[in-house]
Structure 1
Amino acid sequence: MEQIVVAAIVQNWCVTCPTRRQNLQDFCEGLDVRTREHAKSLARVCNRKHLWDTYGIINDIIPFSDDLPHADIHELMAGDLLHQVIKGCFKEHLVDWVFAYIILEHGETVGHGIWGQIDRRLAAVPTFPGLRPFHQGRDFKQWTGDDSKGLMKIFLPAVVNFIPPDMTRAIKYFMEFCYLVRRSIQTEDTVARITHCLERYHHYRQIFVTTGVRPEGFSSLPLQHSAFHYPHHIRQFGAPNGLCSSITESKHIKAVKEPWRRSNKYNPLAQMLSTNQRTDKLAAARMDFTDRGMLEGSCLSDAMQAFLSLALGDDELDSDELEDGEFEEEQPNGNAIEDGGDPEDDGAVEGPKVLGDVSLAKRPERAYPRTLPELGTCFGVPHLPSLVASFLYDQTHNEPLPDGSPTPPCPPLQHLNVYHSAAATFYAPSDISGIGGMRRERIRATPSWFNGPARYDCVFAENDSTVEGFRGLHAARVQTFFSFECGGVEYPCALIHWYSPVADEPDELTGLWVVEPDFDTDNRPFYGVIHLDSILRLAHLIPVFGDAVIPPDFQQSQSLDAFKTYYVNKYADHHAHEIAF
């Protein structure tokens, strides 16, 4: 709405191109864009009614940019991911069309019963950081942008069994388009994939016409048409990365909502003003420190330079040598780059120094045994000492234990501690992240979460770092975190239940990988012990519901134990979409 007002365009017309309102459904490439010169030329030769009916131009309103010599309001129109794509195309169109199809296909009574099952499936999806819980399904009064984003993440597995295959494919390609557009780094390859997803989506969305949901087609839907222009927007403005036209709304979040959340909610105005003042002072201090050069380098490099200045004297110390790498700092993996070596040979790449790190909670839990056999009995894994022995063998030997060889005895362990959580920090610039694109999330493995049921999260574990996507990863469910010392070395570990893919490719309909929990020959869970460095981050598994009927009293905490197979949800967030394809 904001865009058509500032551009003086008739409602339901495209603000970017002069495509007629009756032809908005046609997929075209290289559409001509509106320009100020073209609009003025039309205004000189056409009357007001002709401009309105034929070109969608409101001649009575002059855009504010007309008096600016180098600004064209039409060239400044960028995409609006939230309102055009997520809340518009997905929530107001696709979700409503699926609901309409189910009612048309099955009738009012059966159709509402199916939607009741879909709501229960949405409510049964396991918890995940940043994912809005749908305890009552999708039937609530006021939808926010976060609600629409949350529904998009889990919608496909919930409805796949109730809609035709082509309808599933249409939703799949549209979601692929959304997540590709949202990436913080865009290349020609990404833009080509975006265009391909749009083409496939417009091909498969015809199912809504043939089934009677949209018998009139899509010509009167400018929100659907707006997706055509995103490849052009990316080439024109760069990565959208969550761009929304409601800039004032985002400023309101920063200046009002976030300070209010930080207050104690009692007489919050003074607290909010104080928070804003402190935030401004911190920003000003950072700019001042940057101008003074106080944020350059590190404490280690500064201390080394001061030491060398005292030892050699200022005249003998050439600061350029320090910058050129004569005194290299230790790398994150603990190995310094040798003098004269090529950093590229050691795998150095542009970007943050640490792509991922997992660390245990600060405090261990006290109510657990301090010996390995007793701890295994406590967790129902009596062969835990054997698992730890195999783990230690892998850690201390370059080659794995040969098949059929007996497991070596577990050496004595010291300082055995159990933890209920670990923190994963990883590079995820496409999601909400801090300076440098780093994001942090907590992995839980606790027998009681907020005095309620147990919570054992799933994770991505590294399998083969040379293979891209999920083929180079494992899915696993953490049973507990623990650490111990052996031979003077501390080992932070996780006891996990392995999951394996059911096929060599993702599911053709949904585009999601399907995994199943592993069991041994005695039908017992197949456990393993891995180092914390093998864990990449949290994984979100959604049950493959199939024809199952979810009872009304089904609890969300039961989902990871009640089904045989699970989707690896790459739509949980944008980082998951980049690694779980």
Structure 2
Amino acid sequence: MPPRGTTAPPETLPTPSHSSPRWTIWTTRGQPCDENGYDLPEGTPPPPKEPRAPNNYWPFVDEEEFHFADFLFMHEQMSAGNTDILMSLIVAFQMSRYGNADPPFSTSKHMWDTIDSIPLGDVPWEGFKVSYDGDVPDPAPSWMKREYKVWFRNPLHIMEAQIGNPDFAQEIDIAPKRVLGQNKKRQFTDLMSADWAWEQDQIAAEDPDTHGAMFVPVILGSDKTTVSVSTGQNEYYPLYAALGNTQNHVRHAHRDALTVIGFLAILKTERDQQDTAQFHKFRQQLFHASLTKILSLLKPWMTKPRVTCCSNGYYWRVIYGLGPYIADYPEQCLLASLKEAFEGKSKELWEGYGIIDDILPFTSYFPQGNIHELLSPDLLHQLIKGTFKDHLVTWVVQWMEMQPNGKWLVTEMDQRIAAAPIFSGLHRFPEGHGFKQWTGNDSKALMKVFLPAINGLVPPAMVHAVQAFLEFCYLVCCSQIDEMRESFHEHGIHEDFLLPCQHSVSHYWQLIQMFGAPNGLCSSITESKHIKAVKEPWCHSNCNEPLGQMLLTNQRLDKLAAFQVELESCVQENSEDVDQEEVEGQTSEGDVCLPRRPASGYPRTLVQLSHFLDIPDFEQHIRRFLYDQLHPDSEVCGMDVDIEECPRISPTMHLKVFHLATAVYHVPSDLSGIGGMHREYIRMTQAWHGGPACYDCIFVEREAEEEGFHALGVAQHNNVTYACAFVKWFETHGDSPCPDTGLWRVKPDFMAHGRRMCSVIHIDSILCTAHLIGVYGDKFIPSHLHYHHSLDAFKLFYVNKFADHHAHEIAY
């Protein structure tokens, strides 16, 4: 079906400044309306928002009192007893100093009551009970006699709060879109850029009652989580909802783009009942009936538009629909009414392969609902923990153990993993891979260092298999995926291939076309939300019937967050001259800057500092750097020009030394803020956490006309002076990456007289940190080698493009 409405020619469409040129083709966006649903004339500005009085902070006395409550309750999560002690100390301090006392709050209850009075974000909790109503045998199992309580919040009000959140004003897609890259090939990014949202919008357009409405898909997610290893009730079952129109990086940033809307009941019974057909059937019925009941409040507005105020200030006629469901493998089986040995995407469901009969999925009760189409890809459990950790790592270790020197091979692999140099965000493995309690973050960290560790210990074919999977995994985790990705060519599947996590990969290309880049629908988003929605509120409770306290804590957190957004929006509206570059979370190309205060303990003059750092030719390096700055168009760079042509400087000139620089850049594929911006620190310190020195490696932009690693240089950061960095260079080994690992290799760059090639560079040429791992080869490394010494212990290094997604995107 051709897209309805008109589209602007690509030449007239805007180009984002933070990415390569691309064009967006929209479906007809509909027409904004007034609060009564009548269309506004084209070009009409949004209705004026009722202004908040400059000093109106009700229910708080002033802004400081709000921030005080926000700090204690949200950030510090102070208990009631400690809050009361703090208030009494403030009273005692004020009485002793000023003779009277006026604390922000008299007691913890006073603070909580004030938070409860915030009118924003007020979506109260409701509940209902479910019980078994079938034939009950005598004696009856305990699960048949219990009542199961389900708590929920009105999903309609939650979605309207997300749609109207001013924080998302520039991050919400009003209509489905098709994004074209510079090569005019289609790009799959957010949910609204993919085929499913486009098709749903077309279906709505065919109905005169919903034509022109803003389609709002509701993304759902559920997953059990454990809050304590102690005995007793320690499992909870949160249900989350998110607005499908928000772009993927917004859900990554967790700025209230994912909200807990319910706590489902957990069905338990005696061991002899756990495998009975009746128990499994009721477990399915309880789950699907609960979702049907909770989402029924949205159902009327799936066929009839509801006038809703959006984050940009306009009213729109909104039509809701069930969107993709985020779930791990056991949860997907529960959703699809399957036994866990089978997969929800199988085409042979109705021939007796794993179906639990007589169960209607909850989607059957809603328009256009089909749970078998709405199961989203799960990068964390299917690729990272499933295929990589549970399959590939196990396969490699088992092959090693089968060899005559198997124990030595495994020990060597662990030592190589432990010897990997530190890197921003990289988890340490001091004892290698051999520990029992694996988390998703542990598996992600192992992926970053595993390939160099096994090269030379296992046959090249095994290295190629791991390298191919890592390439696929990093590509599929990108924030945008285009039609030119050769890695997504389809291959045949063996008839006996029934490993669920691995088999799910065969569906990824279709799922990307349907739902966009998978990193916006990964279960890691819901798992990390467990911390704020479940685990921290549980710790905040007194652990005596904690669920009710957890519900109240979540409600108060939402109120505080909504009040904070309201204050920020009022500040922006009242500011006449706002510098966009300084807005928190604003998307930009990136920047490298120095801290405000220099490090102490260093000489201040050039001569003294050169002697202190043992850099005899430090003065020459600075003069060559100044030549480059004063002659940017010179055909000869400062490193090659005659030193006599370089500017002269005073030996007594004053220099400042800094131990770190901060790099901020746009990288939505990695953990980032609401604008897709990521911050990391480039460190140079002679004692890192009381231990050995830490000198980070960096990527330096050198050849602007080249692409990938050809445009980069690798250097090791020594000291930063003023707005410059003193670096030691590496040179590229060979003209292409390693044929086995696919990683570029570098080695220390030496001059003719045997000294390291060094120079002073401007910090503006620094792109970000780089991670180098020694090329171990087939030799065993010393058991005493510490990771702090790795950069000095090897003559050849891999440039680890698997250190993070940003490195993978630039060091290809």
TM-score by shorter chain over 0.5: yes
1:9 has 2:329 as partner: no
1:570 has 2:801 as partner: yes
Distance 1:237 1:451 in 2: 48
Q: Is the 2:587–2:677 contact (alpha carbons within 8 Å) kept by the matching residues of 1?
A: no
Q: 1:225 to 1:276 in 2, by over 3 A?
A: same
The superposition leaves residues 362-388 of structure 1 with CA deviations (integer Å, 9 ceiling, x where unpaired) of 211221122212212222210010000
Q: Identify the match of residue 384 of structure 1 among 600, 618, 625.
A: 618
Q: Is the 1:10–1:52 contact (alpha carbons within 8 Å) kept by the matching residues of 2?
A: no
Distance 1:381 1:262 in 2: 54
1:354 has 2:588 as partner: yes
Aligned partner of 2:409 in structure 1 is 114
**What secondary structure, in the 3-state scheme, does the structure 1 residue paired with 2:392 have?**
helix
Aligned partner of 1:89 in structure 2 is 387
Aligned partner of 1:283 in structure 2 is 561
Q: Is the 1:500–1:515 contact (alpha carbons within 8 Å) kept by the matching residues of 2?
A: yes
The Cα shift of 1:57 comes to 2.5
Q: Is the 1:370–1:416 contact (alpha carbons within 8 Å) kept by the matching residues of 2?
A: yes
Distance 2:659 2:576 in 1: 33
Aligned partner of 1:52 in structure 2 is 352
For 2:631, the aligned partner's letter is: H
The superposition leaves residues 153-212 of structure 1 with CA deviations (integer Å, 9 ceiling, x where unpaired) of 1100000111111211111111111111111122222xx33314x75xx89xxxxxxxxx
The superposition leaves residues 89-141 of structure 1 with CA deviations (integer Å, 9 ceiling, x where unpaired) of 0001000111111223x13xx11111001000000000111111000100011
Q: Greater CA deviation, 542-551 or 92-101?
A: 542-551
Q: Identify the match of residue 67 of structure 1 among 358, 361, 365.
A: 365
Q: 1:401 to 1:471 in 2, by over 3 A?
A: closer
Aligned partner of 2:467 in structure 1 is 172
Aligned partner of 1:406 in structure 2 is 643
Aligned partner of 2:577 in structure 1 is 300
Q: 1:272 to 1:367 in 2, by over 3 A?
A: farther
Distance 1:546 1:297 in 2: 63
The Cα shift of 1:547 comes to 2.7
Q: 1:576 to 1:246 in 2, by over 3 A?
A: closer
The superposition leaves residues 323-373 of structure 1 with CA deviations (integer Å, 9 ceiling, x where unpaired) of xxxxxx8989xxxxxxxxxxxxxxxxxx96531111112211221122212
Aligned partner of 1:195 in structure 2 is 488
- Structure 1 residue runs of 5 or longer lacking an equivalent are 20-38, 43-50, 204-215, 302-328, 333-350, 484-491
**Matched residue count:** 472
For 1:393, the aligned partner's letter is: Y
Q: Identify the match of residue 435 of structure 1 among 665, 670, 674.
A: 674
Distance 1:244 1:18 in 2: 23
Q: 1:298 to 1:183 in 2, by over 3 A?
A: farther
**What secondary structure, in the 3-state scheme, does the structure 2 residue paired with 1:416 have?**
coil
For 1:146, the aligned partner's letter is: N
1:418 has 2:716 as partner: no
Q: Is the 2:737–2:745 contact (alpha carbons within 8 Å) kept by the matching residues of 1?
A: yes
1:478-497 to 2 correspondences below 5 Å: 478-483=717-722, 492-497=723-728
The Cα shift of 1:249 comes to 3.5
Q: Is the 1:498–1:518 contact (alpha carbons within 8 Å) kept by the matching residues of 2?
A: yes
Q: Which structure: greater helix fraction? A: 1
Distance 1:465 1:518 in 2: 21
The Cα shift of 1:545 comes to 0.9
Q: Greater CA deviation, 124-133 or 402-411?
A: 402-411
1:538 has 2:777 as partner: no
Q: TM-score by structure 1 length?
A: 0.75
The Cα shift of 1:431 comes to 0.9
**What secondary structure, in the 3-state scheme, does the structure 2 residue paired with 1:358 have?**
strand
For 2:643, the aligned partner's letter is: P
Q: Is the 2:380–2:522 contact (alpha carbons within 8 Å) kept by the matching residues of 1?
A: yes
For 1:78, the aligned partner's letter is: S
Q: Is the 1:181–1:194 contact (alpha carbons within 8 Å) kept by the matching residues of 2?
A: no
Distance 1:245 1:525 in 2: 47
The Cα shift of 1:62 comes to 2.9
Q: Is the 1:470–1:580 contact (alpha carbons within 8 Å) kept by the matching residues of 2?
A: yes
Distance 1:87 1:291 in 2: 41
Q: Greater CA deviation, 143-152 or 3-12?
A: 3-12
Distance 1:76 1:541 in 2: 41
For 1:364, the aligned partner's letter is: P
Distance 2:616 2:551 in 1: 58
Q: Is the 1:385–1:410 contact (alpha carbons within 8 Å) kept by the matching residues of 2?
A: no
Aligned partner of 2:522 in structure 1 is 244
**What secondary structure, in the 3-state scheme, does the structure 1 residue paired with 2:572 have?**
coil
**What secondary structure, in the 3-state scheme, does the structure 2 residue paired with 1:146 have?**
helix
Aligned partner of 2:419 in structure 1 is 124
Aligned partner of 2:740 in structure 1 is 509
**What secondary structure, in the 3-state scheme, does the structure 1 residue paired with 2:720 have?**
strand
Q: Identify the match of residue 601 of structure 2 among 358, 361, 367.
A: 367
Distance 2:528 2:643 in 1: 61
Q: Is the 1:81–1:242 contact (alpha carbons within 8 Å) kept by the matching residues of 2?
A: no
Q: Is the 2:725–2:762 contact (alpha carbons within 8 Å) kept by the matching residues of 1?
A: yes
Aligned partner of 1:462 in structure 2 is 701
Q: 1:66 to 1:274 in 2, by over 3 A?
A: closer
The superposition leaves residues 459-499 of structure 1 with CA deviations (integer Å, 9 ceiling, x where unpaired) of 0011122322111011100011111xxxxxxxx11100001
Q: 1:499 to 1:432 in 2, by over 3 A?
A: same
The superposition leaves residues 383-432 of structure 1 with CA deviations (integer Å, 9 ceiling, x where unpaired) of 01000000001001131358462343532374411111111111111111
Distance 1:299 1:509 in 2: 58
The Cα shift of 1:275 comes to 8.5
Distance 1:370 1:521 in 2: 31
Q: Is the 2:401–2:410 contact (alpha carbons within 8 Å) kept by the matching residues of 1?
A: no
Q: Identify the match of residue 235 of structure 1 among 513, 516, 538.
A: 513
Q: Is the 2:683–2:694 contact (alpha carbons within 8 Å) kept by the matching residues of 1?
A: yes
- Structure 2 residue runs of 5 or longer lacking an equivalent are 1-329
Distance 1:499 1:432 in 2: 28
The Cα shift of 1:3 comes to 0.6
1:518 has 2:746 as partner: no
Q: Identify the match of residue 629 of structure 2 among 395, 404, 408.
A: 395
The superposition leaves residues 189-241 of structure 1 with CA deviations (integer Å, 9 ceiling, x where unpaired) of 2xx33314x75xx89xxxxxxxxxxxx99623121110011111111111111
The Cα shift of 1:287 comes to 4.8
Distance 1:435 1:443 in 2: 22
**What secondary structure, in the 3-state scheme, does the structure 2 residue paired with 1:163 have?**
coil
Distance 2:481 2:539 in 1: 34
For 2:483, the aligned partner's letter is: E
1:547 has 2:785 as partner: no
Q: Is the 1:218–1:224 contact (alpha carbons within 8 Å) kept by the matching residues of 2?
A: no
**What secondary structure, in the 3-state scheme, does the structure 1 residue paired with 2:680 have?**
strand
Q: 1:372 to 1:331 in 2, by over 3 A?
A: same
The Cα shift of 1:273 comes to 9.6
Q: 1:253 to 1:527 in 2, by over 3 A?
A: same
**What secondary structure, in the 3-state scheme, does the structure 1 residue paired with 2:442 have?**
helix
1:148-227 to 2 correspondences below 5 Å: 148-189=443-484, 192-196=485-489, 199=491, 219-227=497-505
